[in-house]
């Protein structure tokens, strides 16, 4: 079946612009995670959804970052007034159920470059 997809794959934004990054998880997956991966580093957790409920947003770096999953499937990560330090790859992952033992299936990521 189809895996996790993300769009756009690449995004170039001017500093101060707003951007929206989309994630289509595997159909039926309850859990959805967003991670931020700086160049040459491991991904860092941003936020977690269980269905449509955002249960953990402790990793969002500032109030310029906002995520939603209104119908419990597609999720959007929005970054307002982008800054150069926001440049990174944004990864989305989904898993069938909630829980620490679940395998997370990752999308290809969106590479954001803020000029």
Partner 1 sequence: AQTVTQSQPEMSVQEAETVTLSCTYDTSESDYYLFWYKQPPSRQMILVIRQEAYKQQNATENRFSVNFQKAAKSFSLKISDSQLGDAAMYFCACSAGGTSYGKLTFGQGTILTVHP
Distance CA 33, CA 98 (A): 11
Q: Which residue has the tokens 């951007």?
A: 19
Does residue 65 touch partner 1 according to CB under 8 A? no
Select 31 or 82, whichever has its Cβ closest to partner 1. Answer: 31
Give the alpha-carbon dihedral of 104, 108, 112, 113, to 10 degrees. Answer: 130
Distance of closest approach, residue 103 Cβ to partner 1, in angstroms: 5
Binding of partner 1 at residue 90 (CB under 8 A)?
Answer: no
Q: Figure out which of the listed residues 7, 50, 73, 76 binds partner 1, where binding follows CB under 8 A.
A: 50
Asked if 35 is part of the footprint of partner 1 (rule: CB under 8 A), the reply reads yes
Contact indicator for 43, 28 with CB cutoff of 8 Å: no
């Amino acid at each position: 079946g189809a895996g996790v997809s993300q769009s756009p794959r690449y995004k170039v934004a001017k500093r101060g612009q707003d951007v929206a990054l989309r994630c289509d998880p595997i159909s039926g997956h309850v859990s959805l995670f967003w991670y931020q991966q700086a160049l040459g580093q491991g991904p860092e957790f941003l936020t977690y959804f269980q269905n449509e409920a955002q249960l953990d947003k402790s990793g969002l770096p500032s109030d310029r970052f906002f995520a939603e999953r209104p119908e419990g499937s597609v999720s959007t990560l929005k970054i307002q007034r982008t800054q150069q330090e926001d440049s990174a790859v944004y990864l989305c992952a989904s898993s069938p159920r909630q829980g620490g033992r679940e395998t997370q299936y990752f999308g290809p990521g969106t590479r954001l470059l803020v000029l």
